[in-house]
Amino acid sequence: MLTKEEFSRYSRHLLLEPFDDHAQQQLKRATVIIFGIGGLGNQVSMALAGAGVGKLVLVDNDDVAVSNLPRQWLFGSAEVGQPKIEAAAHRLTALNPHCEVVSVPFINDEKSISEHLHTCNVLVDCTDNQTARFYINRLAYRYHTPLITAAASGFIASVVALQPWLKTGCYQCLEDAVNDTQSCIDQGIYSPVVAIAGQLQAMLTLNLLTGVAPVNWGQLSLFDGTFFTLQQFTLARDPACPVCGD
């Protein structure tokens, strides 16, 4: 049951036609693991905590740098040098005390998150390197857990939702299409573009958890900030993929 305070807090969502208190309770019961609390992870964690997701597991081992501040809005100048997961947990708990925030300071370490892998509803990949992305993709496949992955570089944002064990394709076999080998360190990043990518990821996560709108598995959404266009592509699974192939 939602409390009176929760009905009031989430009232603007609850006014939406498909979004009833059952959907809100689905969020309250949900656990989401967010890998990477950089530009994407900031947006995703703020949106999910604000919307009422019950438990967020934040996985990151970076400290806040001054160059993060233009697009990582959970952090201010006073947090420079602090571990991102600690600064983020503090801000997210202040944003919504109903949201339990768990911090995990290890990346690419399955043991450190094993208890959460068995209970979480979705993995959200907000990392910016291939090693981490391939690792998270393998976790999604082995634990049969949906994966929402995104990338942002320059003026381009891309987002895709995957269920690799259901032959939707996985990150590894779609890598060429997702094409995020360039990180923002290499190419630079336009701050609103990473916010758009993170919010699209958050929306897909909320759609998945509540069912208020469909999730088109294996469909890549590509936002181009140069031309202000959003395009969709249906990706083809690679039957020879080493993770999800035949």
Active site residues: 184
Nearer to Zn ion, 30 or 170 (CB): 170
Closest CA to 88 of 122, 128, 45, 127: 45
3-state secondary structure 27-50: HHHCEEEEECCCHHHHHHHHHHHH
For residues 221 and 25, give the distance between their C-alpha atoms in angstroms, rounded to a whole number.
28
- Number of residues binding to Zn ion, judged by CB under 5 A: 6
Each residue 224-243 as x (binds Zn ion by CB under 5 A) or -, in order, gives: -----------------x-x
The gap from C-alpha 121 to its chain's centroid, in whole angstroms, comes to 12
**CB closer to Zn ion out of 90 and 167:** 167
Q: Is position 147 an interface residue for Zn ion (rule: CB under 5 A)?
A: no
Query: What CA–CA distance (Å, rounded) separates 63 from 176?
Result: 30
Task: Single out the residue of 88, 99, 170, 195 in contact with Zn ion (rule: CB under 5 A).
Answer: 170
For the record, the structure tokens of 156 come out as 């381009």
Q: What residue ranges in 65-212 does DSSP mark as E strands? A: 100-104, 122-125, 147-153, 156-162
Interface segment toward Zn ion; rule CB under 5 A; list 95-103, 109-117, 150-158, 171-179: 171-179
Torsion angle of the four alpha carbons 151, 157, 162, 168, in this order, in degrees rounded to the nearest 10: -120
Closest distance between Zn ion and the C-beta of residue 155, in Å? 28
Residue 137 CB, shortest distance to Zn ion, in Å, is 8
Q: Which is nearer to Zn ion, 41 or 169 (CB)?
A: 169
Query: Least distance (Å) from Zn ion to the CB of residue 219?
Result: 15
Residue of the chain from 34, 88, 173, 222 that contacts Zn ion (CB under 5 A): 173
Question: Shortest approach of Zn ion to residue 242 CB, angstroms?
Answer: 8
Residues found near Zn ion in the complex (CB under 5 A) = 170, 172-173, 241, 243-244
